[in-house]
Amino acid sequence: MGPHADKQRWGARVVVLVPYLWLALFFLAPFVIVLKISLSQAALAQPPYLPVLDLAAGWAGLKEFVAQLSADSFRLLASDTIYLLSYFKSLEVAAVSTAILVLIGYPVAYGITRTPRAWQPLLVMAIILPFWTSFLIRVYAWINILQRDGLLNDVIMRLHVIDAPVAWLSSDTAIYIGMVYSYLPFMVLPLYATLEKVDESLLEAAADLGCPRWKTFWLVTFPLSLPGLAAGALLSFIPIIGEFVIPDLLGGSETLMIGQTLWTEFFSNRDWPVASAIAIALLMLLLVPILFYERLQQRSLEGKR
């Protein structure tokens, strides 16, 4: 083998270790800390929680640390209905938004694959471009349109559809519009990528065997697009559950989504343990869909290699 091969192997190790360690430190490790904080108690101190792990105190310090841990925050979550309602609200909004995204996103993605090849990259760019302008800006743009004295009311009043301005903002409708608007590229892109790969000869074979166009779509194209559809759905559903900005700016104050609840607990109530508990519970809730998404990605990675 010799020194050259060893050098190569060390080089490979460095390449793996650098991103690995970064992610382990800044992505994985923090979750452990969140778990720990969720088991702590709020305190008027800096940092605002107890107990604080003092490694200098040695084994005794550790024992005292564990003794002071409590599941109070979790008990609070389970007992106070406001939290449960937030979780349900989030699930509801995510489910409905994802459904709307599929209904709107699929025709758009499919439509792009039917246009001439030369246009497709441009159209895909056109879908992505708004995404690269500020998320906040785009939500803000909808405020412009949906507010009481905003454009939508102005237009439909001028068309005499209604007499008095409707409160579009501060409603679930506004939230749905905002969600669909912001997550549309996440649905369209993976779906387009999968649809685009469907081999043309498969479509010809289906036609040759007796399928008119709609049947070819339903029996061949659609089943083959399911992985892309699943990816798009998960890329929308999971983050939407934890969304904060959209419900905060466009929604009303009746029911909060879980992202808002977490934000409030943290910034307004300064209750770090409860906020952490909310985060842990949310993570548990999302574990299954996240693992499902991971499986999907692994399978497509294997397929390519």
Partner 1 sequence: MADDGEAAQKRAASEKPLLVRFDAVGKRFGPIAAIDALTLEIAQGEFFALLGPSGCGKTTLLRLLAGFERPSEGKILLDGEDIAAVPPHRRPVNMMFQSYALFPHLTVEGNIAFGLRQENVSRADIAERVAEMLTLTRLQGFGGRRIDQLSGGQRQRVALARSLIKRPRVLLLDEPLAALDKKLRAETQFELMELQRKLGTTFVIVTHDQEEAMIVADRIAVMDRGRLMQVAPPAEIYERPNSRWVADFIGEVTLVEGRMAAGTIIGTALGQLRVADIGVAKAGDPVWLALRPEKISMSTERPNGERNAIAGTVFEIGYRGDMSIYKVRLADRSLMKVALANMSARGTGRVAVDDLVWLSWPPDAGVVLTG
Partner 2 sequence: MQRGASHFNIASVALGLAFLYLPIGILVIFSFNASRLVTIWGGWSLTWYRELLHDDAVLQAAWISLRVAALSATAATILGTLAAVVLARMGRFRGRLLFSGMIYAPLVMPEVITGLSLLLLFVAFNVDRGFWTIVIAHTTLTMCFVTVIVQSRLVDFDRDLEEAAMDLGCPPFKTFLTITLPLIAPAIAAGWMLAFSLSLDDLVIASFTTGPGATTLPIRIYSEVRMGVKPEINAVCTIMIAVVALGTIAASLMVKRGVVRRERAALGAQV
Q: Are 253 and 269 in contact (CB under 8 A)?
A: no
- Hey, what are 178's tokens? 């905002």
Question: What is the spatial distance between Cα 32 and Cα 14, in angstroms, rounded to a whole number?
Answer: 25
Which lies closer to partner 2 via its Cβ, residue 163 or residue 200? 200
CB of 51 to partner 2, least distance (A): 12
| Three-state secondary structure call for residue 8 | helix
For residue 230, state whether it binds partner 1 (rule: CB under 8 A). no
Selection from partner 1, partner 2, none that 269 binds (CB < 5 to 8 A by kind) is none
Q: 81-114 vs 72-79: helix axis angle to the nearest 10?
A: 80
Q: Judged by CB under 8 A, which of 223, 254, 269, 294 binds partner 1?
A: 223
CB of 22 to partner 2, least distance (A): 6
Which lies closer to partner 1 via its Cβ, residue 184 or residue 220? 220
Q: Judged by CB under 8 A, which of 224, 249, 285, 296 binds partner 1?
A: 224
| Three-state secondary structure call for residue 43 | coil
Question: What is the spatial distance between Cα 238 and Cα 222, in angstroms, rounded to a whole number?
Answer: 23
CB of 220 to partner 1, least distance (A): 6
Output the CA angle 288-291-292, nearest 5 degrees: 85
Question: What is the spatial distance between Cα 83 and Cα 95, in angstroms, rounded to a whole number?
Answer: 18
Selection from partner 2, partner 1, none that 101 binds (CB < 5 to 8 A by kind) is none
- Choose the binding region for partner 1 from 7-15, 91-99, 206-214, 257-265 (rule: CB under 8 A): 206-214
First-to-last alpha carbon distance for the chain, in angstroms, is 27
**Which residues in the 19-48 window bind partner 1 by CB under 8 A?**
none
Which lies closer to partner 1 via its Cβ, residue 5 or residue 209? 209
Identify the CA nearest to 112 among candidates 121, 104, 103, 101. 121
For residue 207, state whether it binds partner 1 (rule: CB under 8 A). yes
Selection from partner 2, partner 1, none that 238 binds (CB < 5 to 8 A by kind) is partner 2
Contact flags string 165-204 toward partner 1, x per CB under 8 A = ----------------------------------x-xx-x
CB of 219 to partner 1, least distance (A): 8
- Examine residue 47 and say whether the peptide bond preceding it is cis (omega within 30 degrees of 0): yes
For residue 296, state whether it binds partner 1 (rule: CB under 8 A). no
The amino acid present at 127, given as its one-letter code, is: I
